A = this chain, B = another copy of it.
Amino acid sequence: MSDLVRKAAENLTAVRRSKPLIHNITNFVVMNTTANALLACGASPVMAHAENEVEEMAAFAGALVLNIGTLTDSWVASMLKAGRKATELGKPIVLDPVGSGATRLRTDAARSILAGTRVSVVRGNASEILSLSGQAAAIRGVDSCDSVGDAARVAGQLALELGVTLAITGPTDLVTDGRRTLFVEGGHALMPCVTGTGCTASALVGAFHAVDPDPVSAAATALAFFGLAGERAGARAEGPGSFQVHLLDALYAITPEELAAGCRIREERHV
């Protein structure tokens, strides 16, 4: 069993045993879905966004997950406040830059959070992640890369530029901090047909990061767990409605042993 496979099983065991409180400031569309996914995997979700409450809540939490969907200015202010408190207390912060690059409000919010707090992992799709670069024009897009190695190199540069671990999800997920790069396989074609699967991935990264201080292994093992749950759900689903039901059941049912057996993470070390 590789170190990462062992780590995946250990992280899932630790989440179920310690039930870390995950403080989410997230969008209206996925609040219920996210809370249920966190509960299903064994974590304790809390959603709280009031400016006069977020610092207290962040202080209780094992990790803070900031998600910028359905954003307004007052939510950005709360995210920054919660993020600064989490930074001060050394709690891991996961940022999901939903729609960054699509509108100015979202792009600016994602960049402000990166600038004003110590984000540990950013989980998004390729275009959201690329929008975070101050030198977008100079970078060749991950989407347009000729090869997987090429994409990894671009992502690695951006991770170093931002000083974070990037978890770029897609048919194959890529996790990199610029020094170490992991590829995660799994998931199912129905996942993009359900709203909030990306947001759920980010929340699960938060849960695993609450028990695993290494952002690269926390993110990769969480995505491997989610990918395996997606495969299981997809094997039984008749469409996106039943997929969601089976997905929650799978997040609840998968054992650490099953995760170790079904986990597909491979490593590529940078030169």
Interface positions of A (Cβ within 8 A of B) = 27-33, 35-36, 39-40, 45-53, 56-57, 60, 69-73, 99, 102-106, 192-196, 237-242, 244-253
A70 with B49, Cβ < 8 A, contacts A248-B241, A252-B193 known = yes
Contacts of A192 in B (CB 8 A): 39
Contacts of A48 in B (CB 8 A): 70-71, 99, 103
Smallest CB separation, A126 vs chain B (Å): 17
A104 touches which of B29, B56, B240, B251 (Cβ 8 Å)? B56
Name the residue among A30, A53, A253 with the largest chain B CB count within 10 angstroms. Answer: A53
Contacts of A240 in B (CB 8 A): 36, 39-40, 248-249, 252
22 pairs from A and B in contact (CB 8 Å cutoff):
A27-B47, A28-B47, A30-B32, A31-B70, A32-B195, A35-B195, A39-B240, A48-B99, A48-B103, A49-B72, A50-B72, A53-B71, A53-B103, A53-B104, A56-B102, A56-B103, A56-B105, A57-B102, A238-B253, A239-B248, A239-B249, A244-B248
Instruction: List 8 tightest A-B contacts by C-beta distance, closest first.
Output: A241-B248, A239-B249, A35-B195, A241-B245, A239-B252, A53-B105, A50-B72, A241-B249
A241 pairs with B53, CB closer than 8 A: no
Report the bound CA distance from A105 to B252 in whole Å.
32
